[in-house]
Amino acid sequence: MLSEFVLNHMAHLGHQATLPLNRQLYEALRRAMLDGKLTAGERLPSSRDLAHDLNLSRNTVMSAVSQLTVEGYLVSQVGSGTYVADSVPAANAATRSAIRSANRSDKRAQPGTALPRRSLSRRGRDLAHRFNASDLEVQPFTPVHADFSAFPVALWQRLQNRHWRHTLPDMLDYNHSGGHGPLRRAVADYLRVFRSVQLEPDQVIITSGTQQSLELCAQLLADHGDTVWLEDPAYWGAVKAFMATGLHLHPVPVDSQGMAPQPADHARPPRLVYLTPSHQYPTGAVMSLARRQTLLQAASQHNAWVLEDDYDSEFRFSGPPVSSLQGLDTDGRVLYMGTFSKMLYPGLKLGYLVVPKALATDFRQAHYDLNRPGQTPVQAALAEFIEMGHFASALRKARQAYAERRRALVSALQPALSPPDGPWLAGAEQGLHLCLRLPNRVDDQALAQAAARHNLTVRPLSAYCLARHDVKGLVIGYGYAPLDAIRHHGPVLARCIQDCLATH
């Protein structure tokens, strides 16, 4: 019944409840027409009856009706009454039945939300629902989260203020294609010396982070349906970037030396190969030199581009530094990317992509057109931060702090590592997380849930697997938790692991 619908709608107006009554009635009647409760040609009850049924003044009703008439929802016929105009779009049968079932299944449905949510595409559903990192609470041991408490905020503010004071008009425009020149030069100098990357500044593109670097590579180097080889287990961010660009994901297993393509993989030749050779995410494997050379040869044989994600090499705590894969490339087919998310702070949203010389102009142009780069003052401040040596010193301090945290975590986990066929630590001593491998019989998802009951966030390794069922373990972050917290919570986590092993 119309008055019932209108009253119900007005009772659930939420933030619109402060609108004048005539406007609330207008909204309710309009919704009744759009939802098919009142259809084209139908006669509206008289204003007197409506006012009586709704317990409103007649003036209120007449005001709402006259507004709907002005807007063409209603037509008034002298002596006969007011009708729903023919031009009001009829809610089709499918919509009506969807509305009915939505209303049936959600007793608390509010007016305005009663319409079925437009469904996402298949790709949209995958992007929204699979491999979600953002819903994990940040608490002790949440992987990949860094500690920003030591970031020199006052110094950073001073640098930024200086740029804002001096060059304001220029800085408000879009940034240059490729990013702010001094920052590109500073990044090039840093990468040449510390990561053995072969490059000139014009090969550097400042992006909003690895995610954007990956999207750009996928958009510019591959077509919809092309194949990308990626490590299994894999970094979720890369999985999403490739899903979003419509690539065919081909998982390639990772072993203790990194990505290990099998003969069967070559039957699905890649257009792109994405990997984390310096510290495989999440297993921590470092790709051996022999494997690097084999991989570059395979890429050359398939005429594929190699995307090297060097996300945390600055934090290596033991053993010789591992140089970039790009530094070994003699064929101009490796694109190298890094991020300031872990070295400084993620909200900065800055990363860099180094492209082969032959691609530099096209990448800069497309990056400009697709992303309209900005943030010149921030980039200028960062360039200065690097040039003045503050970056190196921040890295040094962070490296020491993370090394200490890692040692504390390993020591706290020792009791759980003792059985000979039990868990073991895999991968290099590097980065912000460690990978605890578990025997295949262990349910790592259940173990992560048990840890969550103690307010500890660890991720099951199997959750990163695309096609494999033989990889179990925990990805445990130590970047975010201060030393005291690691010493306090580490033994709790160790006991969870022991309890879980005892029942498997």
Ligand X SMILES: Cc1ncc(COP(=O)(O)O)c(C=O)c1O
Footprint of ligand X on this chain (CB under 6 A)? Answer: 144, 209-211, 235, 237, 276, 281, 309, 311, 339, 341, 346, 351
* Nearest residue (CB) to ligand X, 450 versus 476: 476
- Give the nearest distance from C-beta 238 to ligand X in angstroms: 7
Q: Which residues contact 231 (CB under 8 A, 6 or more apart)?
A: 251, 252, 254, 258, 259, 274, 275, 276, 280, 281
Phi-psi region of 79 (alpha: psi -120 to 50; beta: other; left: phi over 0): left
DSSP secondary structure code for residue 21 in this structure:
H
Let me know: does 476 contact 392? Beta carbons within 8 Å: no
* Nearest residue (CB) to ligand X, 73 versus 340: 340
* Nearest residue (CB) to ligand X, 235 versus 336: 235
* Nearest residue (CB) to ligand X, 17 versus 370: 370
Distance CA 465, CA 207 (A): 28
* Nearest residue (CB) to ligand X, 33 versus 348: 348
- Give the nearest distance from C-beta 261 to ligand X in angstroms: 19
- Give the nearest distance from C-beta 210 to ligand X in angstroms: 3
Phi-psi region of 225 (alpha: psi -120 to 50; beta: other; left: phi over 0): left
* Nearest residue (CB) to ligand X, 198 versus 276: 276
- Give the nearest distance from C-beta 311 to ligand X in angstroms: 4
Distance CA 215, CA 235 (A): 14
The residues facing 273 across adjacent strands are 229, 306
Positive/negative CA dihedral, 72, 76, 77, 82:
positive
- Give the nearest distance from C-beta 463 to ligand X in angstroms: 14
- Give the nearest distance from C-beta 337 to ligand X in angstroms: 8
* Nearest residue (CB) to ligand X, 436 versus 496: 436
* Nearest residue (CB) to ligand X, 82 versus 276: 276
- Give the nearest distance from C-beta 159 to ligand X in angstroms: 21
Q: How far apart are the first and last CA of the chain?
A: 60
Q: What angle do CA 440, 446, 450 make, to 5 degrees?
A: 130
Let me know: does 467 contact 252? Beta carbons within 8 Å: no
The stretches of 443-482 forming alpha helices (DSSP H) are 444-452
Q: Other CB atoms closer than 10 Å to residue 120's CB: what's the count?
A: 12
Distance CA 210, CA 238 (A): 9
User: Tokens in use for 307?
Assistant: 């995307």
Let me know: does 475 contact 461? Beta carbons within 8 Å: yes
- Give the nearest distance from C-beta 483 to ligand X in angstroms: 22
Q: Using DSSP, state whether 83 is helix, strand or coil.
A: strand
Distance CA 260, CA 428 (A): 17
* Nearest residue (CB) to ligand X, 309 versus 384: 309
If residue 337 lies in a helix (H) or strand (E), which one and from where to where? strand 334-339
Lay out the sheet containing 459-460: strands in order across: 424-426, 433-437, 473-477, 459-460
- Give the nearest distance from C-beta 237 to ligand X in angstroms: 6
Residue nearest ligand X, Cβ-based: 209
- Give the nearest distance from C-beta 312 to ligand X in angstroms: 7
* Nearest residue (CB) to ligand X, 198 versus 211: 211
* Nearest residue (CB) to ligand X, 253 versus 351: 351
The set of long-range contacts for 123-132, using a CB threshold of 8 Å and a minimum separation of 24, is: 123/243, 123/244, 123/246, 126/243, 127/240, 127/243, 127/244, 130/239, 131/236, 131/239, 131/240, 131/463, 132/236
- Give the nearest distance from C-beta 205 to ligand X in angstroms: 13
The residues facing 274 across adjacent strands are 230, 307
Of the candidates 314, 317, 279, 319, which has an alpha carbon nearest to the alpha carbon of residue 426?
Answer: 279
* Nearest residue (CB) to ligand X, 36 versus 374: 374
- Give the nearest distance from C-beta 207 to ligand X in angstroms: 8
